[in-house]
Amino acid sequence: MGLSEQIKERLKEKITNWYQHSPHRIYISIRPQDLKEISYLLFKELNLRFATATALDTPKGIEILYHFSFDKTGEIFSLRVLIEDKKNPWIESLATLFPAAEWIEREMWEMLGVNFVGHPNLKHLLLIDDWPENKYPLRKD
């Protein structure tokens, strides 16, 4: 059984949309509240590697794509979550599951203002420490 089938079977109704763009590029839309559990499954149980995450400012809210790579087959599974509350966006931190997520969450926090709840060290990574509050360089508004 391929990894796609395994993920589909394990997640079932937790998947709100499954989109395969090309043979090795799969985008899985999920609800923000399921993120931590699904990430645990992908990283710890199915042994995917955490490549990085992309945060986008969209008209509907802040969208985050968590890119997981399965190096045995070269497939990249991107978990897509939408945080609708743009005034006070927050999501659970994955840095407690695996340290690889620490830096990218700090970056998304300073660039788009997403609060990663539970992050052990949420401070500036790329911007200077006295960067003005509530100014987020990658916000479109």
Partner 1 sequence: MSHKVIIPIGPYHPLQEEPEFFRLYVEGEKVVDIDIVIGYMHRGIEELCEHKHFDQVSFLVERICGICSTSHPFAYVNAMEDLAKIKIPERALYIRTIIAEMERLHSHLLWLGLAGHFIGYNTIWMWAWRYREPILDCFEMITGNRNHYAMMKIGGVRRDIEDGHLSALKKMLDELARAADMFYGAVMDDPVIKARLKGIGVLTKEQAIEWSVVGPTARASGVNIDVRKDDPYGAYDKVSWNVIVEKDGDVFAKTRVRILELYESIRIIRQCIEKMPKGEIDADIKEIPAGEGIGHVEAPRGECFHYVKSDGTNRPLRHKIRAPSYMNVASNKVAAVGGTISDAAITLAAVDPCYCCTERVAVIQKDTDKKIMNGWDLIRLSQEKTERLRRGLGF
Binding site for partner 1 (CB under 8 A): 21-22, 24-25, 27, 47, 49-52, 54, 56, 65, 67, 69, 71-76, 78, 98-100, 102-104, 124-128, 137-138
- In whole angstroms, how close is the CB of 133 to partner 1 at the nearest point? 17
Task: Classify residue 3 by burial, with Cβ atoms within 10 Å: 0-12, 13-18, 19+.
Answer: middle
- In whole angstroms, how close is the CB of 96 to partner 1 at the nearest point? 12
- In whole angstroms, how close is the CB of 33 to partner 1 at the nearest point? 24
Q: Looking at beta carbons only, is 14 or 49 nearer to partner 1?
A: 49
As a whole number of angstroms, the distance between CA 113 and CA 80 comes to 18
- In whole angstroms, how close is the CB of 46 to partner 1 at the nearest point? 13
Tokens standing for residue 90: 């927050």
As a whole number of angstroms, the distance between CA 121 and CA 40 comes to 20
Q: Looking at beta carbons only, is 37 or 71 nearer to partner 1?
A: 71
Backbone angles phi, psi at 57, to 5 degrees: -95, 110
Bridge-partner residues for 18, per DSSP?
28
- In whole angstroms, how close is the CB of 13 to partner 1 at the nearest point? 25
Q: Looking at beta carbons only, is 23 or 88 nearer to partner 1?
A: 23
Q: Looking at beta carbons only, is 24 or 31 nearer to partner 1?
A: 24
Q: Looking at beta carbons only, is 92 or 107 nearer to partner 1?
A: 107
- Within its chain, how far is the Cα of 86 from the centroid? 16
Q: HSE (CB half, 13 Å, CA atoms) of 33?
A: 1
